Structure 1
Amino acid sequence: MDVEPLLPGPPAPRQGPRRRDRRGRGRRWDLIPPHLPGYRTRRDRFDDLVADAGAMLAERFPRRLAHMQVLVEEVPPADPAPWEEATVMLGRVIPPSRSNPARVIVYRRPLQTRCADEAELEMLVRQVLSEQIGSLLNIPPEDVDPEAWSA
């Protein structure tokens, strides 16, 4: 009984993402550690700002805005219809239907280009959200968020 020794097969493929290139060079770690302010991008900070403002306004009207979605898009649609004005939209509301909840869309780029600093951006986001939610609920935006319109 002659038993032939088992020869090792080809090496198994590596599991997980490749962290360096095939010659051992390349990035070994993140350039900015997570505890530093530069770790989060402008887009991430804007998304958090909109989410916080939307949650704060939804708490003011818990029964009427329980299923509302607040979404962020980069830019508004490019081609307006012939009967629409050719102005830049800062936000948009889509009323609820049987299958979808109400959606408020905030456009990131037009808002960021109109603001010089973070405080001004926060105020403009709150004003746009209060305008859109006010049109959804048929109430004036000053009643939705009085602090945003008092300044």
Structure 2
Amino acid sequence: MTERDELVPRRRRDRRGRGMRGPAVQPLAATGHRPPLPRSRREVFDKIMLDVVTDIDARWSEHLGLVEYAVEDAPQLPDDWDSGRVPLSSLVRGSGTTPTRLVVFRRPLEHRAADRADLEAIVLALVVEQVAELLGIEPHDVDPRYPSDLDDD
């Protein structure tokens, strides 16, 4: 530091001498408020998936047995994949000590959804359809929130 630096006060963005202000710079104890942390797309999707799976698994766990639920970004398709459709999920039935595994692919679902409510509806419909297939019952019997107009597809 030079002598000049000691004599000349530093200029700050604080033009009126009140200091930095707002909930983002105030300590939590002083304001009692913490600004919300930004959520990534992955975190939002994981929360939606967890909410759907927790609700369905709580109702059907004794009929389903051991099921592993997972989220992956996108399916790994073989080079010779010639279908015009991208899979939205994968269901592999368990055998013996291997649990059944239901994998939902995040990116294709996000691509189809217009907003968060639409994404929630798509995830719910997809998980309900897969669980209904495992149980051998109709999707609307698995969860009453399942849209009945999708049964015709």
Fold agreement, TM-score > 0.5: yes
Task: Detail structure 1 runs of 4+ shifted over 3 Å in the superposition.
Answer: none
Alpha-carbon RMSD:
2.3
The structure where helix makes up a greater share of residues is 2
Relative to structure 1, is the Cα distance of residues 104 and 35 closer, same or farther in structure 2, using a 3 angstrom cutoff?
A: farther
Partner of residue 102, structure 2? 104
Q: Write the mapping of 1:103-122 to structure 2, written as runs, cut at 5 A.
A: 103-122=101-120
Q: Write the mapping of 1:1-150 to structure 2, written as runs, cut at 5 A.
A: 35-38=35-38, 40-79=39-78, 85-150=83-148
Relative to structure 1, is the Cα distance of residues 105 and 150 closer, same or farther in structure 2, using a 3 angstrom cutoff?
A: same
Unpaired stretches in structure 2, ≥5 consecutive residues: 1-33
Identity %: 34
Report the count of equivalent residues: 117
What TM-score, normalized to structure 1?
0.68
Which stretch of the first structure deviates more once superposed, 103-112 or 73-82?
73-82
In the TM superposition, what is the alpha-carbon distance from 1:108 to its structure 2 partner?
Answer: 0.1
What TM-score, normalized to structure 2?
0.67
CA-to-aligned-CA distance 1:97-140 (integer Å, 9 cap, x gap)? 11221111100000001111111100100000011111111112
SS at match of 2:131: helix
Asked whether the equivalents of residues 139 and 146 of structure 2 are also in contact (C-alpha less than 8 Å), the reply is no
CA-to-aligned-CA distance 1:5-57 (integer Å, 9 cap, x gap)? xxxxxxxxxxxxxxxxxxxxxxxxxxxxx74141x211011111111101111
